Amino acid sequence: MVDFKKTVADEVLLRDALEAADIVPLAIALVHLTGQPEILDTLQPHVHGPWDYSESIPAELKREVRERLAAALKEYAAADRPEPPAPPPEVLRKMMRLAAGQPIPDEYAPMMLEQMALDGPAHGVSGWQKKPAATAPNQFKVAIIGSGMSGLCAAIKLKEASIPFVIFEKNDTVGGTWHENPYPGCGVDTPNHFYSYSFEPNHDWSHYFSKREELWAYFERCADKYGIRPSIRFNTEVTAAHYDASRECWRITARSKEGREEAIQAHAVISAVGQLNRPSIPKIPGLESFYGPVFHTAQWDTEQDIKGRRVAMIGTGASGMQVAPTIAADVERLLIFQRSPHWVVPNPNYHRSVSDAKRWVLKNIPFYAQWYRFQLFWGFADGLYPALQIDPDWPMSDVSLNAINERYRQNMIRHIKREIGDDPELLQKVIPTYPPYGKRILIDNHWYRTLKRDNVNLITADIDHVEAGAIVTRDGQSHAADLVVLATGFQAGRMLWPMDIRGRDGHSLRDLWGDDDPRAYMGITVPGFPNFFILYGPNTNLGHGGSAIFHAECQVKYTIQCLRALFENGWASLECRQDVHDSYNQRVDEAHRRMVWSHPGMNTWYRNKNGRVITNSPWRLVDYWKMTGHLNLDDYLVRQHDRASQPAAGTFDR
């Protein structure tokens, strides 16, 4: 709730801030406040896309919006009025159209309103803030594994729904990936104003793409604000969870840092361990004989001073992209070993800080922040989806998928040429030969400029072996180094590894999934594993837009609906039907066969060794939002409580 009196207290500040703010979210805020929508029609012809209007909207129109908004704010402050309610649907539709610069299909409108928290008390299709009609049965407890972004989201929403839970966290604090990855330059490459929970916006991001410390601090703050910390068992790693059908509960084994094992019972388990937290250490002959430090980016040895040393970095994915430009100026030499190049896009905001005025506006002008989030969300949502679809008739199918994908490819090549066009040898090494988006797309963190530095070498010959003081490539070259950084990614396919998760019949997830073939219904539930829910599970990674937080919110909402169904119907358990699971996965595979990640031109951690896409979602955001927004009980086998058995009590109170 904005304090209008504070907003208008300093007229000069207010006018300066309005001047610094973006005109379209300001105009929409004006309509919210005044209830007069005419300005939307006046502006619409000048707006051609999100953010595509700075030149085209006439100066006098911009002035009018700012002046009328300042007057409306003052009027609100003088009358001591509360914020107005959300406008009627037809006005909201026009607002969305103006913000996006194009009509928003009706199917997107409810999702966008939820993202902006403008969808009223029902809060979206699933009403995830609703408490269950029946309270959780006596002693019912949910065990959440992990207190990263997804685990915290689950905890916050379970708490709101009055469902008892405990979180087991292997680390000594919250934050997951943002806590664990200490490498130099670590940060987000999803715009921060929507890489944040929809229910907990942060108007104080210092940058449009913040660095790890700030992201980690955000999650720490959320844990405190929502009172989650007392429900977390830190330094406690879940090693196993076995379903005990006779007692209708999960028997969990947790190990403390000191190695002490503990047995716990819970009635439902939410795994929130992520996909990218078990480093992949390459099997390079002789690596163990290297005389200096060797560490993975996620296990960066902060005790090591890299200044003035010769650093060899293996890997050029998202982590390498952030490390190399950050350390290049400090090291004596940086040797970058590239197995295959990535496609890279520039983003003008990537290094920009958010001005004080902009932050003030986000905090103090009602509705501005929501509409700014809308613009980001729309701009980074399903817009890319068509570019990732394989056109079977496309003639250049080795390097692109369709006309839009080819246009992106040309734009990226143009960017690379602008950066290093004067160095044909380097150029030839860095332009990928597979279609854009085949591997995780990267944002240019001054990568190409870094490659041009005198003290940086990009080595593309394959690594043969490592010796005490050097990396030797197949072309016979020996590359002397003092320290090796492994920017070699994660064992994404071994989801939930190394936990031993066993379902109703004693079969383990590992038996079902093998080493790298995880499958679940909507990435969340698995047949034979009652009351077991996975966040950021199989086929839920986003490769075409959106933010991981959006997906986590969808999965948490779905999980809460499942738990609510248990309580409201007095059931002991619910588990996904095998046929529903199988046909869902068939649809996933079919959709992927038509998408970029099935292209044979590149290797990618999105696929397993059999070529099946296992990590990424093939769905548009709006489709996944709709799928997870409504629990269809026909998809599940439900079990009544067994009157003969004595249900176990949850046992994790200290």
Q: Which is nearer to ligand NAP, 501 or 542 (CB)?
A: 542
Binding residues (CB under 6 A) for ligand NAP: these are 187-189, 276, 282, 284, 297, 314-320, 322, 337, 339-340, 440, 463, 487-490, 603, 605
Cα 123–125–128 angle (5° rounding)? 50
The helix/strand/coil state of 325 is helix
Q: How far is the CB of 196 from ligand NAP (least distance, A)?
A: 14
Half-sphere exposure of 183 (CA within 13 A, CB side): 27
Q: How far is the CB of 433 from ligand NAP (least distance, A)?
A: 12
For residues 210 and 354, give the distance between their C-alpha atoms in angstroms, rounded to a whole number. Answer: 10
Q: Which is nearer to ligand NAP, 249 or 487 (CB)?
A: 487
- Phi and psi dihedrals of 350, rounded to 5? -60, -40
Q: Which is nearer to ligand NAP, 127 or 282 (CB)?
A: 282
Cα 644–650–654 angle (5° rounding)? 150
Q: Which is nearer to ligand NAP, 86 or 472 (CB)?
A: 472
Exposure of 577 by Cβ count < 10 A (0-12 exposed, 13-18 middle, 19+ buried)? Answer: middle
Q: How far is the CB of 316 from ligand NAP (least distance, A)?
A: 4
Q: How far is the CB of 44 from ligand NAP (least distance, A)?
A: 35
Q: Which is nearer to ligand NAP, 37 or 176 (CB)?
A: 176
Q: How far is the CB of 322 from ligand NAP (least distance, A)?
A: 6
Closest CA to 384 of 597, 215, 235: 597
Residues in contact with 455: Cβ distance below 8 Å, sequence separation at least 6, in sequence order: 328, 331, 332, 333, 334
Q: Which is nearer to ligand NAP, 236 or 539 (CB)?
A: 539
Q: How far is the CB of 287 from ligand NAP (least distance, A)?
A: 10
Q: How far is CA 253 from the centre of its chain?
A: 29
Q: Which is nearer to ligand NAP, 7 or 192 (CB)?
A: 192
Q: How far is the CB of 309 from ligand NAP (least distance, A)?
A: 21
For residues 187 and 171, give the distance between their C-alpha atoms in angstroms, rounded to a whole number. Answer: 20
DSSP 383: G
Q: How far is the CB of 489 from ligand NAP (least distance, A)?
A: 2
| Residue 626: C-alpha distances to residues 122, 471, 545, 587, 631 (Å) | 15, 50, 17, 16, 10
For residues 440 and 272, give the distance between their C-alpha atoms in angstroms, rounded to a whole number. Answer: 22
For residues 263 and 280, give the distance between their C-alpha atoms in angstroms, rounded to a whole number. Answer: 30
Q: How far is the CB of 510 from ligand NAP (least distance, A)?
A: 22
Exposure of 521 by Cβ count < 10 A (0-12 exposed, 13-18 middle, 19+ buried)? Answer: buried
Q: In what order do the strands lie in the sheet with 456-459?
A: 294-296, 483-486, 310-314, 333-337, 456-459
Closest CA to 445 of 565, 317, 622: 317
Q: Which is nearer to ligand NAP, 361 or 466 (CB)?
A: 466
Q: Which is nearer to ligand NAP, 44 or 433 (CB)?
A: 433
Half-sphere exposure of 308 (CA within 13 A, CB side): 1
Q: Which is nearer to ligand NAP, 320 or 523 (CB)?
A: 320
Instruction: Look at the block and give the residue holding tokens 């977390």.
Output: 232
Q: How far is the CB of 541 from ligand NAP (least distance, A)?
A: 7
DSSP 633: G
Task: Find the helix or strand (DSSP H, E) in which 483 lies.
Answer: strand 483-486
Q: Which is nearer to ligand NAP, 87 or 346 (CB)?
A: 346
For residues 380 and 544, give the distance between their C-alpha atoms in angstroms, rounded to a whole number. Answer: 8
Q: Which is nearer to ligand NAP, 243 or 605 (CB)?
A: 605
Q: How far is the CB of 338 from ligand NAP (least distance, A)?
A: 7
Q: How far is the CB of 602 from ligand NAP (least distance, A)?
A: 8
Contact of 588 with 618, CB cutoff 8 Å: yes
Q: How far is the CB of 177 from ligand NAP (least distance, A)?
A: 8
Exposure of 380 by Cβ count < 10 A (0-12 exposed, 13-18 middle, 19+ buried)? Answer: buried
Pair of tokens at residue 506: 């004693």
- Phi and psi dihedrals of 279, rounded to 5? -55, 145
Q: Which is nearer to ligand NAP, 294 or 501 (CB)?
A: 294
Q: Which is nearer to ligand NAP, 190 or 231 (CB)?
A: 190
Task: Find the helix or strand (DSSP H, E) in which 344 lies.
Answer: strand 344-345
Per DSSP bridges, beta strands 478-480 and 470-473 are antiparallel
Q: How far is the CB of 191 from ligand NAP (least distance, A)?
A: 11
